[in-house]
């Protein structure tokens, strides 16, 4: 089989790494991929948002299955374009991807189908939004309606926070059209966890649970980033809660999408808040998490390629995803200055020594090979994952591995997976 992975980050490296292990697979293509995926198959140039090019590559390379990593091409209709051409694709249609691409769609959907979630109101007008917060009181969470690369959510505890969130979104138009509307939500206190299911539109199979660390600094402080690390499983979701999340959130979501004429196929990610022992959904994403994928996939023993194929073709019934009863930690190595400005092209050393360590797998995010040397090419550079029989063993292995890798300005959090209840 010939499999193509669309995207070029750490998540896509982890997908390609898992796909490559399948005995069914002869060839892996990544578009555009990165220096890590180059070692697994063939990287091809192309912008994942350029859908006609993605279709052309899939035809030209006689690809049997395409797996789409990022949300933007899904929200732009890549799955619809592939299906129109008779090409097999893992990922939801444009209509179904609205579950991530419009927070207003998602909130209406959650309420309509009875999923536990924060109450909300939507506004286009700055003054009306301010008046609403005045009436409701602090704290609130303000979110740009559309896709904003994880940067459109503001947790507001002061009036200054509210002013900044509403001004940047509605007046300064920092997120462009994605900020035409804002959602203002009640703040739910509790503990966060992530759960991803694979679905064919009817059957739902959960992947191992996980937790990510979005903020830059230790103690979950500082600006939001694309993700500074993740670990799996989360201790926030025991078996009883996992069962409840499946019954109260995941299954109603898949049934609800089908009932609304937008059958959902692919990976559905729920960002959860466990408040007073009860699960709430904060957001849905129409894809795998980044960096959660780099933490969960190394724990899965099943071949995922038949699962992806079955999800794409509507034949998931009877399939299972088996994993090891272990722990994994993924630590992001970032460039100094990220998520603001940072330098690129800095040489990376020590990766071969790091990869020799027990239980360690390295996933590339922003890397490039230039003249035979590996150099930095992005804000998030590498995700170093270690598995262990216990969380402590995984943590020690992961941080020992991080110490082996060097580049100027290497930055990482020192408290991944040691979060306490807030
Ligand atoms: P989202 O992209 O919607 O998951 O929001 C990003 C982050 O903002 C989440 O991971 C939470 O930490 C926080 N957040 C979002 N909505 C809420 C809420 N209603 N209550 C508390 N925290 C929230
Ligand atoms: N780690 C959060 C996300 O993938 O959206």
The pLDDT assigned to 148 comes to 86
User: What is the band of 422 on the pLDDT scale with cuts at 50, 70, 90?
Assistant: very low
Ligand 1 atom closest to the CA of 188, numbered from 1: 20
DSSP string, 157-191: -SHHHHHHHHIIIIIS-TTGGGGSSEEEEEPPPSE
The pLDDT of 21-47, averaged and rounded, is 97
Give percent of the chain with pLDDT exceeding 90: 95
| Distance separating alpha carbons of residues 203 and 266, to the nearest angstrom | 11
pLDDT tens for each residue of 112-136: 999 999 999 999 999 999 999 999 9
Ligand 1 atom closest to the CA of 271, numbered from 1: 4
| Ligand 2 mutation pick, 212, 232, 294, max ligand atoms within 8 A of CB | 212
- The tokens for 3 are 């499999």
Q: Are strands 27-32 and 2-7 parallel, antiparallel or unpaired?
A: parallel
| Ligand 2 mutation pick, 14, 70, 234, 290, max ligand atoms within 8 A of CB | 290
- Domains, the chain, ranges and CATH? 2-91 (3.40.50.20), 119-186 (3.30.1490.20), 190-313 (3.30.470.20), 327-402 (3.90.600.10)
121 within 8 A of 132, measured Cβ to Cβ: yes
Instruction: Tell me the whole-structure pTM to 2 decimals.
Output: 0.96
pLDDT tens for each residue of 52-99: 999 999 999 999 999 999 999 999 999 999 999 999 999 999 999 999
| Ligand 1 mutation pick, 109, 121, 153, 212, max ligand atoms within 8 A of CB | 153
* CB neighbour list of residue 58: distance below 8 Å, 6 or more residues apart: 4, 66, 82, 85, 87
The pLDDT assigned to 223 comes to 86
The pLDDT of 203-213, averaged and rounded, is 96
Instruction: Give the number of the ligand closest to the Cα of residue 290.
Output: 2
The pLDDT assigned to 421 comes to 45
The pLDDT of 99-112, averaged and rounded, is 96
Ligand 2 atom closest to the CA of 288, numbered from 1: 4
Summary mean pLDDT of the chain: 96
| Distance separating alpha carbons of residues 297 and 30, to the nearest angstrom | 18
Residue 109 has pLDDT above 60, yes or no: yes
pLDDT tens for each residue of 310-367: 999 999 999 999 999 999 999 999 999 999 999 999 999 999 999 999 999 999 999 9
66 within 8 A of 16, measured Cβ to Cβ: no
Take atom 5 of ligand 2 and give the residue whose Cα is closest: 289
Distance 89 CA to ligand 2 centre (A): 21
Q: C-alpha distances in angstroms, 357 versus 10, 266, 300, 365, 398?
A: 20, 34, 20, 20, 9
Residue 219 has pLDDT above 90, yes or no: yes
SS3 213: coil
pLDDT tens for each residue of 374-394: 999 999 999 999 999 999 999
The pLDDT of 185-213, averaged and rounded, is 96
Token pair 């270690």 is at which residue?
Answer: 386
The pLDDT assigned to 420 comes to 62
| Distance separating alpha carbons of residues 141 and 154, to the nearest angstrom | 6
Residue 150 has pLDDT above 80, yes or no: no
Token pair 């230790």 is at which residue?
Answer: 218
Residue 197 has pLDDT above 70, yes or no: yes
The pLDDT of 239-252, averaged and rounded, is 96
pLDDT tens for each residue of 258-305: 999 999 999 999 999 998 899 999 999 999 999 999 999 999 999 999
Take atom 4 of ligand 2 and give the residue whose Cα is closest: 289
Burial (CB count <10 Å: 0-12, 13-18, 19+), residue 358: exposed
The pLDDT assigned to 144 comes to 92
Distance spanning both ends of the chain, measured CA to CA: 47
SS3 52: helix
The pLDDT assigned to 100 comes to 96
SS3 312: helix
The pLDDT assigned to 325 comes to 97
């Amino acid at each position: 089989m010939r499999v193509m992975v669309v995207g070029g980050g750490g998540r896509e490296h982890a997908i390609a790494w898992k796909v490559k292990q399948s005995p069914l697979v002869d060839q892996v293509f990544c578009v555009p991929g990165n220096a890590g995926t180059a070692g697994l198959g063939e990287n091809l140039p192309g912008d994942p948002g350029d859908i006609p090019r993605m279709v052309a590559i899939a035809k030209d390379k006689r690809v049997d299955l395409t797996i789409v990593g990022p949300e933007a091409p899904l929200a732009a209709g890549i799955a619809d374009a592939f299906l129109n051409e008779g090409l097999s694709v893992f990922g939801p249609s444009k209509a179904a991807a609205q579950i991530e691409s419009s927070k207003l769609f998602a909130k209406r959907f959650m309420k309509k189908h009875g999923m536990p979630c924060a109450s909300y109101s939507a506004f286009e007008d700055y003054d009306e939004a301010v008046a609403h917060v005045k009436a409701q009181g602090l704290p609130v969470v303000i979110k740009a309606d559309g896709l904003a690369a994880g940067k459109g959510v503001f947790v507001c505890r002061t009036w200054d926070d509210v002013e900044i969130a509403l001004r940047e979104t509605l007046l300064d138009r920092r997120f462009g059209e994605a900020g035409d509307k804002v959602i203002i939500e009640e703040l739910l206190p509790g503990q966060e966890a992530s759960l991803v299911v694979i679905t064919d539109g009817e059957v739902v199979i959960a992947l191992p649970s996980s937790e990510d660390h979005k903020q830059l600094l230790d103690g979950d402080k500082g600006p939001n980033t694309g993700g500074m690390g993740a670990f799996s499983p989360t201790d926030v979701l025991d078996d009883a809660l996992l069962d409840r999340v499946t019954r109260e959130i995941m299954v109603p979501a898949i049934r609800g999408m089908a009932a609304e004429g937008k059958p959902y196929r692919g990976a559905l990610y729920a960002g959860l808040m466990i408040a007073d022992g009860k699960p709430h959904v904060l957001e849905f994403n129409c894809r795998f998490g980044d960096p959660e994928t780099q933490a969960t996939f190394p724990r899965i023993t099943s071949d995922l390629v038949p699962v992806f194929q079955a999800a794409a073709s509507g034949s998931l019934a009877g399939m299972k995803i088996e994993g090891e009863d272990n722990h994994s930690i993924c630590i992001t190595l970032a460039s100094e200055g990220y998520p603001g400005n940072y330098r690129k092209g800095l040489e990376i050393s020590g990766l071969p020594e790091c990869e020799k360590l027990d239980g360690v797998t390295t996933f590339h995010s922003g890397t490039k090979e230039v003249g035979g040397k590996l150099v930095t090419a992005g804000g998030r550079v590498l995700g170093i994952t270690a598995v262990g029989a216990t969380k402590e063993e995984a943590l020690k292995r992961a941080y020992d591995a991080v110490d082996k890798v060097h580049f100027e300005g290497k930055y990482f959090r020192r408290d991944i997976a040691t979060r306490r209840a807030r």
